[in-house]
Amino acid sequence: MDFATVNQELFRFLDRSPNAFFAVRNMCEKLDRAGMVRLFEGRPWTLEAGKGYYVTRNDSALIAFRIPRADYTGFQIMASHCDSPVFKIKANAEITVDDRYVKLNVEKYGGMLCAPWLDRPLSVAGRIMVRTSEGIETKLVNVDRSLLIIPNLAIHMNREVNDGYSYNAQVDMLPLFCEKGEEEDVFLQMIAAEAGVNAEDILDTDLFLYNRMPAERLGLRGEFIASGRLDDLQCAFASLQGFLAARPGDSVAVHCVFDNEEVGSGSKQGAAGTFLSDTLRRINRVMGRTEEDYLMSIASSFLVSADNAHAVHPNLTDKADPTNRPYLNQGIVIKYSANQKYTTDAVSGAIMRAICRQADVPCQTFTNRSDLLGGSTLGNISQSQVSLNTVDIGLPQLAMHSPYETAGAKDTAYLAEAARVLFSSSVEGTGDGNYRLKF
């Protein structure tokens, strides 16, 4: 496996994807280059066996699929997410301090580690809605230079800070933007200039902070990688690499990336929305298949919910389960939870292990300590829209939800290879609990 090349491409994707809108745009560019046909939900679809297509929703969620043949067996799906915990810039963002400083009013999006957002160069990216002669138009804006900083308070003014500090998002986390000048509305003026539009034509915005530190390799032998947004762009990237390399045989390959996982998935572009079920049903209908065909195909489908997992922390080893201890570079993590916060069960775990074996990549297991609650992800949420055999997996990482996370330099390539095998395979139900796996 060519780990160096995979990491170079991953880093390029991470650095160019400060948030979900840019991640989706960059994935669309790759799909265009691979000759996939873009579809829109609001226009009619014509689909042909042997071809690949993709569709976006809200410019922040994406589904790409390849239909090998009209009488396909089922859907082989990998779902990940492209949003990350971050600070969102509020409307009327400017706050003037002592008539000297201008800082920006922000709020939390998702559950982030606050401390590592302090004392580092930040900038702003997102989308703006611009008035046109016909209506409104989306423009993406990335202020691609170091622009903002959230300064810590000096230790001299809080000697107890290292004993634990409670961050108040409305007080502690507001980024310093500029010195107060003569002009009003300088933030929106700057965004308008970056986008090449007039400020008065900007009707609304979804703008977010991001960490300017680029992705890097580190460790004596370059064993580790560090970047913002590894959760979950590392999985989204590996899924797309596998999708592009796959040769679907009997089943439709579906690369699916949702938005809003970090805030519970409950949006039209999130896993609790209808995006996946609408798309699968539409493929079924446009390919001239019946409702009975659809239900049979779902029974012979497989969903891999791919969202990063916690590796054993080198300083806090007791936080991990005593017997299920994932490490960086030791391969794909299959996640289990008896209360089904993770969807994995014996059936889906067995299918995933067979896929890893076929791909010749290592896998390991994660469970929470029995006295820790742990996190949740999109796998069980998407079951309420499309119910099918699902496994929860992820790549092992440290510092999840920091704006600069750490992972293994080998694991992305492992997941890309497993995704390639998944997308090329089929899982045919031959009676409840029994499956014919075709690779």
Min separation Cβ 276 and Co ion, Å = 17
Total residues in contact with Co ion, by rule CB under 5 A: 3
Instruction: State the nearest-atom distance from the C-beta of 308 to Co ion, in Å.
Output: 6
Write down the least CB distance from residue 184 to Co ion, Å. Answer: 39
Q: Pick the stretch among 117-125, 190-198, 286-294, 302-310 that binds Co ion (CB under 5 A).
A: 302-310
* Pick 231 or 411: Cβ nearer Co ion: 231
- Cβ atoms 303, 383 nearer than 8 A: no
- Residue with Cβ nearer Co ion (72 or 342): 342
Among 206, 232, 321, 411, binds Co ion (CB under 5 A): 232
Report the relative pairing of strands 52-57 and 37-39 from DSSP bridges: parallel
Site for Co ion in 141-160 (CB under 5 A): none
Secondary structure (H, E, C), the chain: CCHHHHHHHHHHHHHCCCCHHHHHHHHHHHHHHCCCEEECCCCCCCCCCCCEEEEEECCCEEEEEECCCCCCCCEEEEEEECCCCEEEEEEEEEEEECCCEEEEEEEEECCCCCHHHCCCCEEEEEEEEEECCCCEEEEEEECCCCCEECCCCCHHHCCCHHHCCCCCCCCCCCCEEEECCCCCCHHHHHHHHHHCCCHHHEEEEEEEEEECCCCEEECCCCCEEEECCHHHHHHHHHHHHHHHHCCCCCCEEEEEEECCHHHCCCCCCCCCCCHHHHHHHHHHHHCCCCHHHHHHHHHCCEEEEECCEECCCCCCHHHCCCCCCCCCCCCEEEECCCCCCCCCCHHHHHHHHHHHHHHCCCEEEECCCCCCCCCCCCHHHHCCCCCCCEEEEECEEECCCCCCEEEECCHHHHHHHHHHHHHHCEEEECCCCCEEEEC
Give the footprint of Co ion on residues 192-221 (CB under 5 A).
Answer: none
Pick 232 or 259: Cβ nearer Co ion: 232
| Least CB distance to Co ion at residue 357 (A) | 26
Q: Which of these segments, 37-45, 155-163, 249-257, 304-312, binds Co ion (CB under 5 A)?
A: 304-312
**Judged by CB under 5 A, does residue 405 bind Co ion?**
no
Q: According to the binding rule CB under 5 A, does residue 231 interact with Co ion?
A: yes
- Listed ranges 105-113, 167-175, 208-216, 227-235: which one lies at the site for Co ion (CB under 5 A): 227-235
Kindly tell me which of 59 and 231 has the beta carbon lying closer to Co ion: 231
Contact window for Co ion (CB under 5 A) among 9-17, 50-58, 305-313, 382-390: 305-313
Interface stretch with Co ion, choices 10-18, 165-173, 186-194, 232-240 (CB under 5 A): 232-240
Minimum distance of Co ion from residue 221's CB (angstroms): 27
Whichever of 282 and 341 has its CB closer to Co ion, that residue is 341
Nearer to Co ion, 250 or 261 (CB): 261
Smallest distance, Co ion to C-beta of residue 277, A: 21
Least CB distance from residue 170 to Co ion, whole Å? 25
Contact string 307-336 vs Co ion (x = CB under 5 A): x-----------------------------
- In the complex, which residues of this chain contact Co ion (CB under 5 A)? 231-232, 307
